[in-house]
Chain A
Amino acid sequence: MSPRSTRLQWLSLGAAAMLTAAGSAQAADKTILIGMQCDRTGPTQVVGTKLCPGTHDYIDLINAQGGVDGWKIEAQEVDNSYKVPPAIEEYAQAKQQGAVGIMIYGTPQTEALNQRLEQDKIPGTSPGFGIAASADGKYYPYLFPIAANYWSQGAAAVKFAKDQLGGSLKGKKIAYVFYDNPAGHEPLPVIEELAKTEGFQLQTFAVPPPGVYVSSQVLAIAQQYRPDFVIDHTFGKSPALLIKGFKENGYPLNKVVALVWASGEADIQGAGGWDVAQGYNTMQFAGAGEDYPIIKAIQEMYQKKGQSPPAAMQATVYYNRGVEQGALWVAAIRNALKLSHGEKPTPTQVKEGFEMIHDMTLGGLIPPLTITAADHEGGGWVRIFQVKGKA
């Protein structure tokens, strides 16, 4: 797949008339537009450059098969560089263009957009990030985490540590190292509550953005605090630096569990590769690897076009999550088209379409996902994958 950065150019054109005309053309040619935000240039580009191609590829696959009930899906990507102001501007543009919803990118951006989504009655998704409480669809009707939120991830990390330490955390020491922004803070209330109920000592270590200096945190954890387990909730460049730092300071990586944005192949490669990261535990809300029917179908799509699959596909963790994101939007639109009797669905019908997703597994790529009006998270499932052997 070619980079979609050229799609940014429409923002600079800035002509409302053109946007209106584009919207009319979409209606005429039966295209359903989704606004899609990504970070390919900012501090989390290590994720965005892998995840976003996965979303496009899934949607391209569906379109190549004739679309959804004859409707083509277009995810119009813009780069927010993990910054809030462009995210707000890009949302407004997508709304003006008639998008039926928006794929949000980033927790600060989710917090900034949530109220607008509700006011405009436009659904937005924040897979594996964003506002944990938005799992409750009653109070967050238009925001959909659609994957384990930060509270579910934090709880699952504590459970994993407990199991690894013999079934009890009483008297144990756990270090929580986190990216010091709203996303990094989000799991803390749950982990702090579990520290009380499970009886473990918790110490937190903040990594200031943009997360490129972690040596003091590594030394404080590995040399001074010496915890029984580490929960790593960093992202961007930090996870690789932490893996490398723990390894160099003799802290065992099998006593580290990473939340979902510190869990990609790029993080491991950035640390120095598979040999360095042996034992490191990663948390996933979509499966890693290529051994899934939907990934094979995308590979075949490229083969039919005489093209090689994109390099991003080799970074299976983040790429597969992009595929999941695309698949859930397509499923919601498919459901919405039932509600609209084949007419172009409204954003509210797409919202209701999300709430009709039932027991979706994508051939094993994701856990059995059921989204309802009450549960916009889909159950909060995760799975731990450990670095073992070589790539």
Chain B
Amino acid sequence: MGQDLPGQGQGLTPVTPWYRAYRDMIVAKENKTAAQMAAKSN
């Protein structure tokens, strides 16, 4: 994070690589919520 990467675009400079965060928490929440919503609709 924070380092300048090769600049691209009109004044928009990438300052991180591609990343994702808190992935385990997000996937667990997606699965739990999706299952709950499916149960509600059945």
Contacts and interface: CB of A to CB of B under 8 A. Distances in A.
A181 interface: no
B30 to A, nearest CB: 5
A386 interface: yes
A385 B9 contact: yes
B37 A265 contact: no
Contact of B21 (A140, A159, A316, A387): A159
A82 interface: no
Contacts of A382: 18-20
A383 B17 contact: yes
Interface string B13-42: 111111111110111011101110110010
B19 A156 contact: yes
B31 A136 contact: yes
A152 B20 contact: yes
Given A133-B33, A136-B30, A383-B16, A156 B21 contact: yes
B19 A289 contact: no
A148 interface: yes
A158 interface: yes
A80 to B, nearest CB: 24
B16 A380 contact: no
B19 A381 contact: yes
Given A163-B1, A287-B8, A133 B30 contact: yes
B11 A135 contact: no
B1 to A, nearest CB: 4
B10 A381 contact: no
Contacts of B1: 160, 163-164
Contacts of B19: 156, 159, 381-383
Interface string A193-231: 110000000000000000000000000000000000000
Given A151-B26, A155-B22, A384-B14, A139 B9 contact: no
Interface string A358-391: 0000000001100000000101111111111111
Nearest to B17: A383
Contacts of A293: none
B18 A367 contact: yes
Given A189-B29, A381-B18, A382-B18, A314 B10 contact: yes
A155 B27 CA distance: 11
Contacts of B22: 155, 158-159, 190, 194
A74 interface: no
Contacts of A281: 15
Interface string A324-361: 00000000000000000000000000000000000000
B34 to A, nearest CB: 4
Contact of B37 (A139, A151, A152, A289): A139
Given A383-B19, A384-B15, A391 B10 contact: yes
Given A159-B21, A382-B20, A390 B11 contact: yes
Contact of B11 (A148, A368, A389): A389
23 contacts: A133-B29, A133-B30, A133-B34, A135-B34, A136-B35, A139-B34, A155-B20, A155-B26, A156-B19, A158-B22, A159-B19, A164-B1, A190-B22, A268-B11, A282-B12, A288-B14, A291-B9, A314-B10, A380-B23, A383-B19, A384-B16, A385-B13, A388-B7
Interface of B: 1-2, 4, 7-23, 25-27, 29-31, 33-35, 37-38, 41
Nearest 9 Cβ contacts at the A-B interface: A289-B9, A289-B8, A159-B21, A139-B34, A288-B9, A136-B34, A391-B10, A367-B18, A133-B33
Given A155-B25, A265-B12, A388-B4, 10 more contacts: A132-B30, A136-B35, A164-B1, A290-B8, A380-B20, A380-B23, A382-B20, A383-B14, A385-B15, A389-B13
